[in-house]
Structure 1
């Protein structure tokens, strides 16, 4: 079977956008910077600055558009994406002088944790459901997201020469986890895949992706579990098995740790949307 051609998006924005990579890989050019955004990382796209995005078929993203000072009232894509044949300079949103979102303004890419992902998902849900007071709720959640990003240590990734030769192998492993998260993804397997000791393999994975091995595997399984709970009629126990947890109690505990609610309650909440 032939693979689909990557989707190329080239544009400028009147507002700002945060893109979180759930799975797959995103290639981006922001201004003069060329960036590779791996799963678990956030891409910051500012107003005015040209950017190019290359999306592959398997890529899955969470995106939110926003402005800092309530300058736009969004009704459609034409309100946020610049028509280069009819540029309205007065619509470009202002960026604060201070580093309101930590390292993103200077680096554009930042590894983030599950709390950031949950806040982004809540913003998306509020925007699409549009219950009374949703705009206020979105603003409040966005402020929480900014506060959390400000508290995220700003440590640019500078790979040592010994780690660079493992980048391709780890990218391949990441794709394999996303494709078959139910498989046994232990520290020992990571070591075998990289042909190094498991402790060293875990350090390499953290250095290259910015995430610990165990948290990354849990994150991929958690996202797939949420998808199955929303989109399928599988029993909760079977959902757990589909994402790699044979023990239902352990699945319930891990899911609740990540989401704040049990799998059953998450499904019931999703059914009300």
Structure 2
């Protein structure tokens, strides 16, 4: 195992665009690491005992060293990939392509590459498929071009491109996690809006809403408006106003009681808010409804 202070010295072992037919299901391990970007078709991938995940065109994924994996084409005919095999520390001596692959019927006397024990690589192994940015796509194409045509200095060029690719993969993983967190927060706000609609008389202060979402008040206000389309205060007032109109029309409850029911302890404040929204006081609104 490499020391934490060991410098990265990445090397490309194999790189090309390649095709996998539907009839072929790959079950194997590899001695190094492989990045695969799917250009055409759809595939299902499973790594060790983790749940399988689907890969769509324009997405990429990492096959780690040592771990068993299965890659199966799920589209009608074939899948087309950009693929790059590499290691991080130039640990392997690869004389031929077959030195990279370990099948179940082979002896287990192979050397496997190390994963850097560094924060920027810590999430690589838990990621499934990720949407490829133009930078990721371009870097993979350039690595394949250099490795295939092998002009003078191609290995140094490939190493430099690998460093750039590592950065872009790390950023893609971080962006994916941010989107997941954002989606989770939006769902939480939508659920919260439904709760407000179901119980308008509860305490729905900004402080309470922020605490329920475990975020600060300012950030909660921005997210709420982005998700619901209006500020938390206006949304709560709107829900309460709708309920107040229903109670004024359908019940004989006093205006003070209705105000308490929808969350306003001060009847005068309730009357001002109602007038602001409806253009008339609650008592006048009740008389108007009963004239119709």
- Give the TM-score normalised by the residue count of structure 2: 0.49
Cα pair distance change 1:101/1:22, threshold 3 Å: farther
- What CA distance in whole angstroms lies between the structure 1 residues aligned with 2:134 and 2:121? 17
Cα–Cα, structure 1 residues 67 and 85, in superposed 2: closer, same or farther, change >3 Å? same
Give runs of aligned pairs for residues 197-216 of structure 1, distance below 5 A.
none
Which structure would you say has the larger Rg?
Answer: 2
Query: What does residue 43 of structure 2 align with?
Result: 26
Contact 2:27 2:71 in 1 (8 A): yes
Distance (Å, rounded) in 1 between the aligned partners of 2:133 and 2:29? 28
Q: Distance in 1 between matches of 2:135 and 2:122?
A: 16
Equivalent in the alignment of 2:160? 140
Q: CA deviation at 1:83?
A: 4.1
Q: How many residue pairs end up in the alignment?
A: 160
Q: Following the alignment from structure 2 to structure 1, what is the Cα–Cα distance between the partners of residues 117 and 42? A: 31
For residues 178-233 of structure 1, give each alpha carbon's deviation from its aligned partner in whole angstroms, at most 9, with x where no partner exists.
xxxxxxxxxxxxxxxxxxxxxxxxxxxxxxxxxxxxxxxxxxxxxxxxxxxxxxxx
SS in 1 for 2:176: coil
Alignment pair present for 1:50 and 2:83: no
Q: Partners in 2 of 1:85 and 1:7 — Cα distance?
A: 17
| Structure-1 separation of matches of 2:29 and 2:94 | 16
Is 1:41 equivalent to 2:62 in the alignment?
Answer: no
- Contact kept in structure 1, 2:39 and 2:57, CA below 8 Å: yes
Distance 1:103 1:41, change over 3 A: farther
Which SS does the other structure have where 1:132 is aligned? coil
Consecutive unaligned residues of structure 2, counting only runs of 5 or more, are 1-20, 188-292
Do residues 97 (structure 1) and 114 (structure 2) align?
no
Q: Equivalent residues in 2 for 1:67-82 (5 A)?
A: 67-82=87-102
**How far is the alpha carbon of 1:104 from its aligned partner?**
3.1
RMSD: 2.7
Partner of 1:168: none
The answer (yes or no) to whether the contact 1:14–1:92 under 8 Å persists in 2 is: yes
**Runs of at least 5 residues in structure 1 that lack an aligned partner in the other structure:** 164-273
Alignment correspondent of 2:138:
118
